[in-house]
Amino acid sequence: MTHSARRKTLRFLGTLTVVLLPVVLALWFAHVRATSETRNQLRTFAQLALNKTELVIQQADLARDMAQLYQGEMCTPAHQKSMLNIIRGRLYISDLIYAQGDHFLCSTSMVPPASYIMPTADYKRTPDISIYYYRDTPFFSGYRMTYMQRGNYVVVINPLSYSEVMSDDPDLAWGVYDTVTGSFFSASEGSNVAQLLPLVRGDAPTFQQDDRFYTIVHSEKRPIAVIVSTTDDRVDQNFYHEAVLTLPFGVICSILILLMWWRTRQQYYSPRRLLKRALKKRQLCLHYQPIIDIKNGQCVGAEALLRWPGCKGEVMSPTEFIPLAEKEGMIEKITDYVVEEVFNDLGYFLSAHPQLYISINLSASDFHSSRLIALIAEKSRDYSVRSQQIKVEVTERGFIDLQKMTPVIQAFRQAGYEVAFDDFGTGYSNLHNLSSLNVDILKIDKSFISTLTTNSTSHMIAEHIIEMAQSLHLKTIAEGVETADQISWLLERGVQFCQGWYFAKALPPQEFMHWVKRSPTILTQGGQ
């Protein structure tokens, strides 16, 4: 490394350190504040849940106290009516039951033929308190309720009543449990009690686990606690708000200076600028992958595939830079470039070999107007190329606005240019959409072909696609063919045309023409 290079590197590292150090410190402080804010929000909610639980327990105590005042004969209609009047005045009490120990004798609505013996309580406290969590009994058949017993009376409570508290956080989940047994007696919808149980046994009141933030709050009055959790998105939201407040003005100015330098450099070397310069300097090139009639082994055409050599020493495929072109509004220039290059590369060759055709890939936006039809027609006249020798393709993922695209597709077809539906099977099209589009050719995506003979799912999907194409009388081309077994399989099911490395890779124009000329029969036999 030269002295100048070292000095530039040190200067850059020094500047970066000076700018980033206060930013990192500010962000760290914002993170601490966000964590604290999230913990406080969860603690506030947990306290509300505890207050709600306390209110429910108070109502249960009052209901049992009032029931104890009854002096008549037990489990008579009068007794049942007395218990019913008590629960009617209590919002969170579902029922009252008269019991003797673990023998439940009657409720407000029923007197069973024989006393119901309740299995062992989840929680017991001397002298006469028993609590049964999530029990399904004849008194509330089909519902898992909580039964709270003191003396001879049992209060029945819906578990949701304890902790049903409104929240503006849709990701919030919580559960209420007693700290003696560690058993949950109430949980929000969407909470997984089995996952919460191991978490309440730890000592940490606040922690993060599996992309969620947890807080545990204990009641000061009773041996109960609440565990509340939310996703890390809540922390991220709080972090964002705190970060906006904690970044000092001086640091912001430093960042702005750095951003100005970075932006100037980034603009010059941005993918958009690189692509724009590549178009201007005509650095993009086309390779042509032959399409073969597997019934007679003849080449009938080729698909024009755009490549971008020279960008950072790599060769980029359209899947990398076409989305960029679409995003930056350059896709029309790309398409025009492709059309011009096809005719520059192979215009006279196509004119001399009318049996061959070239398939051009278009974006979805190209099918929103008939602009390209005039351009292709003009180029065809200049090079004496027949309309049948130019076909256009669009990927399945591009067929979004059927109402706009259908008439343009029809215009292409009326002008003599067949339309191919590329990468079929990777999107969301169905038979109805396919029929509505009225295309000429269906291309089966290579993802199904590559695993055709090894994957039963690909096998079934490919058969279904072939049947759809045949039902609509469409030509079918299989992409990505690499083995003889695949060819045999496709032949058996009536697929006539294939492309893939089994025959040839995508070739530069001169190599493609040489490759075609090596098969002299192509000059005399008709193609597709």
Q: What integer pLDDT is reported at residue 347 of this predicted model?
A: 94
H or E element at residue 236: helix 232-246
DSSP string, 79-123: HHHHHHHHHHT-TT--EEEEEETTEEEEESS---SS-EEPPPPSE
Output the CA–CA distances (angstroms, integers) from residue 119 to 94, 158, 229, 413, 488, in the order listed.
20, 19, 33, 78, 68
Report the distance separating Cα 46 and Cα 409, nearest Å: 60
Report the distance separating Cα 167 and Cα 172, nearest Å: 8
H or E element at residue 370: none
Contact 289, 305 (CB under 8 A): yes
Of 179, 198, 204, 177, nearest to 188 by C-alpha is 177
Q: Record the pTM.
A: 0.52
CATH class of 278-433+507-521: alpha beta
Fold classification of 63-162 is Beta-Lactamase (3.30.450)
pLDDT exceeds cutoff 70 at 522: no
Report the distance separating Cα 461 and Cα 271, nearest Å: 37
Kindly state which CATH superfamily the domain 22-55+169-242 is placed in: YNR034W-A-like (3.40.1840.10)
Percent of the chain past pLDDT 90, that is, above it, reads 37
pLDDT digits (tens, 9 = 90+) for 364-373: 778 777 788 9
Q: Where are the beta strands (DSSP E) in 206-297?
A: 206-209, 212-218, 224-231, 285-293
Of 346, 262, 260, nearest to 304 by C-alpha is 346
Of 299, 203, 339, 280, nearest to 499 by C-alpha is 299
pLDDT digits (tens, 9 = 90+) for 258-288: 777 777 767 777 777 888 888 888 888 999 9
pLDDT digits (tens, 9 = 90+) for 351-405: 999 999 999 998 877 877 778 899 999 999 999 999 999 999 887 555 556 777 7
Taking residues 193-201, report their average pLDDT: 85
Contact 42, 228 (CB under 8 A): yes
Higher pLDDT, 325 or 511: 511
Would you put residue 423 in left (φ > 0), alpha (ψ -120 to 50) or beta? Answer: left
Give CA 271 to chain center in angstroms.
26
Residues 6+ apart with CB under 8 A from 129: 123, 149, 150
pLDDT exceeds cutoff 50 at 528: no
Domain segments of the chain as ranges? 22-55+169-242, 63-162, 278-433+507-521
Contact 23, 246 (CB under 8 A): no
pLDDT bin (cut points 50, 70, 90) of residue 524 is very low
pLDDT exceeds cutoff 60 at 296: yes
Q: What integer pLDDT is reported at residue 526 of this predicted model?
A: 39
pLDDT digits (tens, 9 = 90+) for 117-152: 999 998 888 888 999 999 999 999 999 999 999 999
DSSP string, 481-509: --SHHHHHHHHHTT--EE-STTT---B-H
pLDDT digits (tens, 9 = 90+) for 219-258: 888 888 999 999 888 888 888 888 887 777 557 767 777 7
Contact 418, 391 (CB under 8 A): yes
Contact 480, 261 (CB under 8 A): no
Angle at 509 between CA 507 and CA 513, to 5 degrees: 90
pLDDT digits (tens, 9 = 90+) for 53-84: 889 989 999 999 999 999 999 999 999 999 99
